[in-house]
Amino acid sequence: MTSDYQGPDRVFSGVQPTGALHLGNYLGALKKFVALQSDYECLYCIVDLHAITVWQDPAQLKAQTREIAAAYLAAGVDPDVAIIYPQSAVREHMELAWYFNCVARVGWLNRMTQFKDKAGKNSENMSVGLYDYPVLQAADILLYKATQVPVGEDQKQHLELSRDIAQKFNNDFSVPNFFPLPEPLIKGPGARVMSLRDGLAKMSKSDPSDNSRINLTDSADVIVKKFKKAKTDMGVMPAPGDDLSERPEVDNLIGIYAALSEEPREAVIARFEGQGFGAFKPALADLAVEKLSPVTTLMNRYLADPDEIDRILDRGADRARAIAVPIMDDIRKTIGFLGA
Ligand code: TYM
């Protein structure tokens, strides 16, 4: 938190409706969403405007937006407490993104590694929206003057950009502390879940191999099979204090176990010390099934009633708008628009 910002603490985060959620999304984001909701005012957005920075089939986009809502609910987000809504339902996100386009510098965006990773050698053919993605993300957060942002580690750079934009707006318009400098909440063993096939690549929706990730929609059988196939090495489970820097796959599986069981990594290492992967992998698979199966079952139950999901999202959008509208009025006045 910025030391001089006087506003209330508020939590904001978002997930893109671009396909089935995986264990990384669950441990890096959703579990944190649930943990924070009783202590803070929380907004959990389904960022459909971010999703369309790459082509989305319109019918699929709708279905996937409901799927993310169902995942939030199934993971334990309480819609009577936290605010859940689709980004496009609160138009102010787009308006503020434009103002921030005029605050952010091209050089700042040129440094964004996620754009470079996604675009690869093909950046000339990417949408302008994909390039501008982090500016819209800053608008999401600052539209509500959010002070804390629970995310996985891959979002660290985007959060730094949000802070830079907030700071520059405050300086440019001589309104110190108008926007807070939002803090990323990243810590914890689930902040960086890696691929099951490559301990140096992050678990990702876009990995062509489905065996690289555990999807929230996977059945118990599939989860067991995927952990069985997970890459390890010729060694056995490490002892406390062992250096795992050369054993990224093993390190990742221990991290997943710790995040799911909510134990310190050291406790997991001590329990499995010296055992073979033939013992550890089934234990990990059982734990994952125990924790994820209820979420999957609940998700399907919510998805069976799309009207109820839509009602929840409508109500969330109304509550989000009620926070955003007065802040947006102040922003327009600060910029100096006639009639604001
Ligand atoms: P998205 O949909 O790509 O990811 C959603 C959340 O899941 C986290 N995550 C992971 N955490 C741990 N290990 C992984 N392998 C892993 N993969 C994904 C992401 O860090 C994220 O927290 N840009 C955001 C969406 C967004 C947003 C925002 C987030 C838009 N506006 C404002 C916070 C605040 C994203 O990448 O979503």
pLDDT tens-digit map of 253-263: 999 999 999 99
The model's pTM is: 0.97
Q: Is 41 helix (H, G, I), strand (E, B) or coil?
A: strand
Instruction: Summarize the confidence of residues 129-147 as an average pLDDT.
Output: 98
- C-alpha of residue 25 to centroid of ligand 1, in Å: 7
Q: Any residues with CB less than 8 A from the CB of 213 and at least 6 apart, and which?
A: 22, 23, 24, 195, 196, 203, 204, 205, 207, 226
Decide: residue 207, CB within 10 A, 0-12 exposed, 13-18 middle, 19+ buried.
middle
Catalytic residue among 31, 32, 145, 202: 202
User: Tell me, what's the pLDDT at 3?
Assistant: 62
Range name among 1-5, 85-89, 244-248 with the lowest pLDDT average: 1-5
Whether 129 and 53 have beta carbons less than 8 Å apart is answered as: yes
47 close to ligand 1 (CB < 6 Angstrom): yes
pLDDT at 244: 97
Query: Which fold, 10-185+305-335?
Result: Rossmann fold (3.40.50)
Q: pLDDT band at residue 38, thresholds of 50, 70 and 90?
A: very high
Evaluate whether 202 touches 24 at the Cβ level (below 8 Å): yes
| Amino acid residing at 3 | S
Give the pLDDT confidence score for residue 35 in this predicted structure: 96
**Is the beta carbon of 67 within 6 A of some atom in ligand 1?**
no
For residue 1, the model assigns a pLDDT of 47
Report which DSSP code applies to 2: -
Q: Report residue 269 as tokens.
A: 């290492």
CA terminus-to-terminus distance, the chain: 29
Is 136:161 a contact under the CB 8 Å cutoff? no
CA gap 304, 89 in Å, rounded: 23
pLDDT at 57 over 50: yes
Averaged pLDDT score across all residues of the chain: 97
Spans of all domains in the chain: 10-185+305-335, 210-300
CATH superfamily of 210-300: Tyrosyl-Transfer RNA Synthetase (1.10.240.10)
Mean pLDDT of 201-213: 96
Secondary structure letter of residue 237 according to DSSP: P
Look up 202 and say whether it is catalytic.
yes
